[in-house]
Amino acid sequence: IFQIFTIASNCRQNKQADRTITKTVIVNNRKTKVCFFYLSIVMLWNRKYQEFDLVVSSVTTKVKGVAQTRLTGVGNLLWDVADYSSSSQDRNSFFVMTNVIVTKNQKQGKCAEDRFPPAGIQTGSCIRFDVMKKTCEVSAWCPIETQTNPPRSLWSVKFSRLFPDSLTLDLSRSRNILPQMNDAYLRSCHRANDSLCPIFRLGDMVREAGEKFSDMAVEGGVIGIQIKWDCNLDRLMQRCLPRYSFRRLDERESNKTLYPGLNFRFAKYNTVNGVEERTLYKAFGIRFDIMVFGQVGLYLTFNLTFLLWIFGVISLILQSNFLNVLKFLRLLLVRTVDEVMRS
């Protein structure tokens, strides 16, 4: 049963006071109900009455944290932001080193080549690589890198990352750091307790992507950070807040790809007794790709197509149910007010 409205009828007899009796009119019209629910759900719930604009966003990131590792043949190493995060920075992504192979005190010279991969220019001579085998002699940075398998990572999962996201649209300007988020809030907020907190721990992001940090940190990988904006700028329902989600983008199975994980090499140079030396780092880590998408809706003007559709639907209903509409109006006129005479 579809309830349209509630009306009141006034009862008057002679010069006594009026009495008000509440009366409900029930109209059991299936077509009217279908039309009403369609307009309510499809138009209002899906916000078809709004004008939409796409997101134009700018994201900056900042990483904080310190790590300490103990590597065989190298000893204890302390890593800060300049060491593990600044080596590889792309436009829409950032890299955090989670594992490393270090080859110290390399100098340019001639030495034995390892089997794979090639590390220099072969001289044509065959020299002893170790007590068990001989390999080709190469001109290269010696000693060459010999360790191929990355060690189990002992890096901390408590590195934090801040994502200030400035959203610019033709209809609005918004940020994911809200006005009430002061310095004290940003220092103490945690995503587990507050979904709007813009500070994320690396371990939490990897876990929300369905991965285990201790496993992924060994060879590295790629995590996608999805920031979705779905803004409603109507005065009575104004809301413009981001939603964060994470997923792994690279192939996780080592036996399904030729080069599993993610790694690159870089070197630090110095001069000892007039001879240039370097320390070679093969860095494994996680690259985080930031993807921002969404839309913003605001009631400005009705779309011409929407107006034509509304008029077409109303016209169709009136034409197909003209007699029913007349009966309905006659029923309302007759039953709107009933005079109750006191006997």
Encoding tokens for residue 17? 């006071």
Q: Are strands 275-298 and 221-232 parallel, antiparallel or unpaired?
A: parallel
Q: What is the pLDDT of residues 86-119, one digit of tens each?
A: 656 677 788 888 888 888 889 999 998 876 667 7
Residue at token pair 């009306």: 7
Element spanning 73, H or E: none
Q: How many Å apart are CA 321 and CA 219, to the nearest integer? A: 70
249 contacts 289 by C-beta, under 8 angstroms: yes
Which pLDDT does position 300 carry in this prediction?
60
Residue with the bigger pLDDT between 5 and 66: it is: 66
Element spanning 195, H or E: none
86 contacts 95 by C-beta, under 8 angstroms: no
DSSP letter at 299 equals -
Residues 6+ apart with CB under 8 A from 103: 143, 144, 145, 146, 147, 279, 280, 282
Residues 6+ apart with CB under 8 A from 307: none
Residues 6+ apart with CB under 8 A from 232: 47, 50, 238, 239, 240, 296, 297, 298
Closest CA to 63 of 88, 81, 78, 90: 81
Residue 9 pLDDT > 80: no
Q: What is the pLDDT of residues 189-236, one digit of tens each?
A: 888 888 888 888 888 899 999 998 888 888 899 999 998 888 776 666
Q: How far is CA 321 from CA 34, 37, 74, 182, 316, in A?
A: 14, 18, 87, 60, 8
Residue 270 pLDDT > 90: yes
Residue 139 pLDDT > 80: yes
Which pLDDT does position 249 carry in this prediction?
92
Q: What is the pLDDT of residues 140-194, one digit of tens each?
A: 999 888 777 777 755 555 565 555 555 454 445 567 787 788 888 888 888 888 8
**Please, which pLDDT band fits residue 4 given cuts at 50, 70 and 90?**
very low
Residue with the bigger pLDDT between 43 and 278: it is: 278
Q: What's the whole-number average pLDDT of the chain?
A: 73
User: With pLDDT > 70 as the criterion, what percentage of the chain qualifies?
Assistant: 59
Report the top-level CATH class of 53-298.
mainly beta
Q: How many Å apart are CA 103 and CA 323, to the nearest integer? A: 91
Question: What SS3 state is found at 124?
Answer: strand
pTM (two decimals):
0.67
Encoding tokens for residue 292? 């921002």
Encoding tokens for residue 250? 């690279």
Closest CA to 94 of 37, 168, 162, 190: 162
Tell me the residue length of the chain: 343
Q: What is the pLDDT of residues 241-259, one digit of tens each?
A: 888 899 999 887 767 777 7
Domain residues of the chain, as ranges? 2-49+302-335, 53-298
- Backbone φ/ψ region at 65: left (φ over 0), alpha (ψ -120 to 50), beta: left
Encoding tokens for residue 322? 């003209």
286 contacts 262 by C-beta, under 8 angstroms: yes
Which pLDDT does position 134 carry in this prediction?
86
- The neighbour count for residue 158, using CB atoms within 10 Å, is 13
Closest CA to 57 of 92, 20, 105, 107: 92
Which pLDDT does position 27 carry in this prediction?
55
Q: How many Å apart are CA 259 and CA 257, to the nearest integer? A: 6
Q: What is the pLDDT of residues 288-331, one digit of tens each?
A: 998 888 877 766 655 545 655 665 666 566 556 655 666 666 66
Which pLDDT does position 106 carry in this prediction?
92
